[in-house]
Amino acid sequence: MYIGGEWVDKPEKAVVRNKYDGAEIDTVPLADAADVERAVASAVRGAEVMRKMSPYDRYHILRRAADLLAQRQEEFGRTITLEEGKVLSEGLLEASRAVETLTGSAEEAKRIHGETVPVDAAPGGANKISFTIRVPCGVVAAITPFNFPLNLVMHKVGPALAAGNAVIVKPASDTPLSALKLVEVLLEAGLPAEAIQCVTGPGAKLGGAISTDPRIRKISFTGSLDVGEQICKLAGIKKVTMELGSNCPVIIMRDADLDEAVRATVVTGYSNAGQVCLSAQRILVDSQVYADYLDLLKPKVEELVPGDPLKPGARMGPLIRESDAIRVNRWIHEALDGGARLVTGGGRQGALHEATVVAGVHPDMAISRKELFGPAVAVTPFHEIDEAISLANDTNYGLGAGIFTKNIDWALRFAREVDAGNLHVNWGSMWRADLMPYGGLKGSGMGKEGPRYAVEEMTELKAVVFH
């Protein structure tokens, strides 16, 4: 791991395994609270260096890093697939997206600015001039998940450095290798040695030390609602961005293009074996087209045979852990025991789980109510748009949602009334351009990602008045 401007090894190690066959890929050190203390102390020094660096110089470092990452794109894509389990085409896509995210972050380093404030329009404000400036937070902690081990790290590290902060990365225990390789790239590009730290080990052991340290002025976390709530309780008075879970709904109205709706369901419901926060999970279908939709969906889902993600043409890899596949399978069979119908799939072998469609799902079933994070969709019929919107909002989550319709009134009602931070008309719930504002409502979190918006989250606003 990388702490205090040097690469650090320890006798205690964690094994990083291939999620398909369990083979050992590499090992990483297991950090402890003393390592976190050393990383924070180093990051405080690094933050002073970054604060004094001009935005132009920060831009050039990040731009060089983006070029270096592009040169190593295939290597990074393969590493992502090995440690996470997504198919190689998805690993390569993530690596290319990370280049775009870092490039966008570099550009945002040149766009940090304030505005004038018309204080002379206020009583007693005559002959005064006021303006705002944005300054770095200082030290940013980036706590990242397993499902996008490079690009979700980049969405935190890129803006943090662009804004003039130092950053401490705590990557997911299952997938630390991409983050460590990213540190190599940033250092090669000329980033000051103490501007970044990367500590490896379990969040349960390191999270408290990171969250409670008052020298860390900003925490950006992507992960589960339960862990996010715990971090917020521990964090105290500091800025936080929480990108948490969801169980995204997709509404298919009676006038929908069913072929396109099925295509979007396959893409947005089963990518990365369903292990995406924006995955389409709850498919709400107008009763008039319900049977036709299921007839079209079944053969397309059956093409998604799980297997070795490194093989050319592989459509779906394993889940991150066998325990997750067991949980997904249990929730499917609980729904079937409760009266739902298995359209296709439902089988499991180790961490591999078949792409599954469950129909006739009641909204109170776990496969609909909780965050599944697996390769299955829960299909529920409805009769009118009012009922569809009510079902879509009947959740503690609010990250993404989609609707298929040609009716502009229905589309606008969906946009205004569905409680989600990312809304898609004539597509599923899962689509993200890395430059767009991204974040959820309700239990799906607070704050926004996307380089421009993350830079705002990772800076402080000062008001200046000349008298």
Residues annotated as catalytic (active site), given as ranges = 243, 277
Tell me the sheet residues that pair with 218: 140, 239
Phi, psi of 320 (to 5 degrees): -65, -30
Spatial separation of the C-alpha atoms in residues 190 and 168, rounded to whole Å: 17
Cβ pair 370, 331 in contact under 8 A: yes
Expressed in angstroms, the distance from the first to the final Cα of the chain is: 50
| Burial zone of 357 (CB within 10 Å; 0-12 exposed, 13-18 middle, 19+ buried) | buried
- Evaluate the CA torsion angle 310, 315, 320, 321 in order and state its sign: negative
Total number of residues shown for the chain:
467
H helical segments located in 302-360: 322-337
378-417 b/e (C-beta count within 10 Å ≥ 16 → b): bbbbbeebeebbebbbebbbbbbbbbbbeeeebbebbeee
Q: Which of 372, 173, 357, 414 lies closest to 272, judged by CA?
A: 372
Backbone angles phi, psi at 306, to 5 degrees: -75, 150
Single-letter residue type at 228: G
DSSP annotation of 272 reads: G
